[in-house]
Chain A
């Protein structure tokens, strides 16, 4: 176990420079093929937001202002981290397969792939974050001190999904079934996490508690706490505990999988 951790740290150390280069090239690769290129990184989320806003406010006539903020902005608060998570839940699970030419054709450490894959997506997240803050400003809600906690949630999100990508990415190498399972569950994760509703308004305590063991919920709620509800992260100790437990469990799983499969994966792919 400790041996495996040491290997992972060592691999990251010796490929420090390459990680950022590969993240950049992954980013360029994702958006460069199309004529509109970079615009898609922004257009796609905007379309999603519009569809949900339209469905809920115009269609279901449910979208009422929350805590003094228009419903549209409330959606933005939760969808902002979701756009990142959506990509890395399924993408993370296929990231090692996607870069199999690095694994099978040259000497390259497997553990580094999930890291740069997530870095590449966090760059897009930075851009969307800036746009979101600008959106709030155009509606007349200037950035305030609560936004300072965004980096905390961002780091939590990044940490969990690097671990997730390592774990899921390796399992997907062994079996395509696993990747298909993740893909089919990603829709479910969306509706079962507090992205389209506020988890804290669920009446049943146990349902609420179980949902909080899902980091997607904790992070989406956290972003909303910063943007809409104006709550600090240290005012939500339960959320933090649940997140930490899930993170630890997945870290152990990821390290175990790594130890088990590191030497086998180049042979399988």
Chain B
């Protein structure tokens, strides 16, 4: 059993500065006297995730789940504390977003994969698999603006799961599309998880889905960790907390 740590948070705090208006924010660039409120989205959080583990985050809206995932992805930066992430992160956050609407589906596959650091040959190798999984038919060469939101989500999901990630992040993503596609997604995630080299982070309100995929759980409230442990215990704790 490899005990390689792939994600480590040490005393991470993330504050959002809230200004009264955009004007105040602009003024703050030049003077330190402009007043602002601080919202602590994540408060002094520490945890570790090892390779092959699957971890679920529970918490109400505003508990800081999305902020944590954003920081792991590298989109947001912590205000203080340290974050270590080891491996290629692939986030299934807001699947339809992040595409270029004027380009075709195929071009978007190339663009998105190359932004994730894949070479042209690697992309060409996974391209058929992505196209097949997204099941877009002739639409693959049409500009993305003609896609329905379900089609965009399908393409996003297909790209993300087929880009050979080390860390897979799901944010309610498994609830997109119709029943059949959802089933396909779940099957794919289960398949990825089966070889034990991929780490899964999961954010959801649905405790049943979490139980299906995850071994461990963390319960958050207002940016603080309330509970960390086995998934069943975490769910019990979360459900009690909710009442």
State whether these chains interact: yes
Please encode chain B, from 84 to 95, with 1 for each CB lying within 8 Å of some chain A CB and 0 for all others: 000001010110
Judge if A33 is at the interface, Cβ distance under 8 Å: yes
Q: Which residues of A contact B100 (CB under 8 A)?
A: 25, 29
Q: Which residues of A contact B91 (CB under 8 A)?
A: 106
Judge if A44 is at the interface, Cβ distance under 8 Å: no
A21 and B114 contacting across the interface, CB-CB below 8 Å: yes
A101 and B75 contacting across the interface, CB-CB below 8 Å: no
Known A-B contacts A29-B100, A101-B98; A175 and B25 likewise in contact (beta carbons under 8 Å) = yes
Known A-B contacts A21-B111, A29-B103; A268 and B25 likewise in contact (beta carbons under 8 Å) = yes
B74 and A107 contacting across the interface, CB-CB below 8 Å: yes
Beta-carbon nearest neighbor of A268 in chain B? B25
Beta-carbon nearest neighbor of A262 in chain B? B77
Nearest chain A CB to B49's CB is how many angstroms away?
A: 18
Judge if A260 is at the interface, Cβ distance under 8 Å: yes
Judge if B97 is at the interface, Cβ distance under 8 Å: yes
In the complex the two chains form, what is the Cα distance from A268 to B99 in whole Å?
A: 20
A106 and B103 contacting across the interface, CB-CB below 8 Å: no
Q: Which residues of B contact A45 (CB under 8 A)?
A: none
Nearest chain B CB to A39's CB is how many angstroms away?
A: 18
Please encode chain A, from 244 to 269, with 1 for each CB lying within 8 Å of some chain B CB and 0 for all others: 00000000000001001111101110
B76 and A267 contacting across the interface, CB-CB below 8 Å: yes
B94 and A177 contacting across the interface, CB-CB below 8 Å: no
Which interface residue of B29, B91, B107 has the most chain A CB atoms within 10 A? B29
Judge if A108 is at the interface, Cβ distance under 8 Å: yes
Q: Which residues of B contact A264 (CB under 8 A)?
A: 17
Which interface residue of A22, A25, A263 has the most chain B CB atoms within 10 A? A25
Nearest chain B CB to A182's CB is how many angstroms away?
A: 14
B25 and A107 contacting across the interface, CB-CB below 8 Å: no
Beta-carbon nearest neighbor of B145 in chain A? A33
Q: Which residues of B contact A266 (CB under 8 A)?
A: 70, 75-77
A105 and B94 contacting across the interface, CB-CB below 8 Å: yes
Please encode chain A, from 41 to 81, with 1 for each CB lying within 8 Å of some chain B CB and 0 for all others: 00000000000000000000000000000000000000000
Q: Which residues of B contact A29 (CB under 8 A)?
A: 100, 102-103
Q: Which residues of A contact B73 (CB under 8 A)?
A: 106-107
Q: Which residues of A contact B76 (CB under 8 A)?
A: 266-267
Considering only residues 149-202 of chain B, those with a C-beta below 8 Å from chain A are none
B102 and A176 contacting across the interface, CB-CB below 8 Å: no
Please encode chain A, from 103 to 126, with 1 for each CB lying within 8 Å of some chain B CB and 0 for all others: 111111000000000000000000
Picked from A18, A33, A103, A171, the residue with its CB within 8 Å of the CB of B102 is A33
Please encode chain B, from 25 to 40, with 1 for each CB lying within 8 Å of some chain A CB and 0 for all others: 1100100000000000
Judge if A147 is at the interface, Cβ distance under 8 Å: no
Considering only residues 172-191 of chain A, those with a C-beta below 8 Å from chain B are 174-178
Considering only residues 1-53 of chain A, those with a C-beta below 8 Å from chain B are 17-18, 21-22, 25, 28-29, 32-33
Judge if B3 is at the interface, Cβ distance under 8 Å: no
Q: Which residues of A contact B102 (CB under 8 A)?
A: 28-29, 32-33
Judge if A196 is at the interface, Cβ distance under 8 Å: no
B111 and A25 contacting across the interface, CB-CB below 8 Å: yes
B114 and A17 contacting across the interface, CB-CB below 8 Å: yes
In the complex the two chains form, what is the Cα distance from A174 to B27 in whole Å?
A: 10
Q: Which residues of B contact A261 (CB under 8 A)?
A: 29
Judge if A102 is at the interface, Cβ distance under 8 Å: yes
Beta-carbon nearest neighbor of A178 in chain B? B26
Nearest chain B CB to A172's CB is how many angstroms away?
A: 10
B22 and A106 contacting across the interface, CB-CB below 8 Å: no
In the complex, the 8 A-B pairs of residues with the closest C-beta atoms, listed nearest first: A107-B74, A105-B98, A175-B26, A263-B77, A101-B98, A29-B102, A105-B97, A266-B76
Residues of chain B whose beta carbon lies under 8 Å from any beta carbon of chain A: 16-17, 22-23, 25-26, 29, 70, 73-77, 89, 91, 93-94, 97-100, 102-103, 107, 110-111, 114-116
User: A22-B111, A266-B76 given. 17 additional CB < 8 A pairs?
Assistant: A21-B110, A21-B111, A28-B102, A29-B103, A33-B102, A102-B115, A105-B93, A105-B98, A106-B75, A108-B115, A174-B26, A174-B29, A175-B23, A177-B22, A178-B26, A257-B29, A264-B17
A-B contact pairs, 5 of them (CB 8 A): A18-B115, A28-B102, A101-B99, A106-B115, A257-B29
Residues of chain A whose beta carbon lies under 8 Å from any beta carbon of chain B: 17-18, 21-22, 25, 28-29, 32-33, 101-108, 171, 174-178, 257, 260-264, 266-268
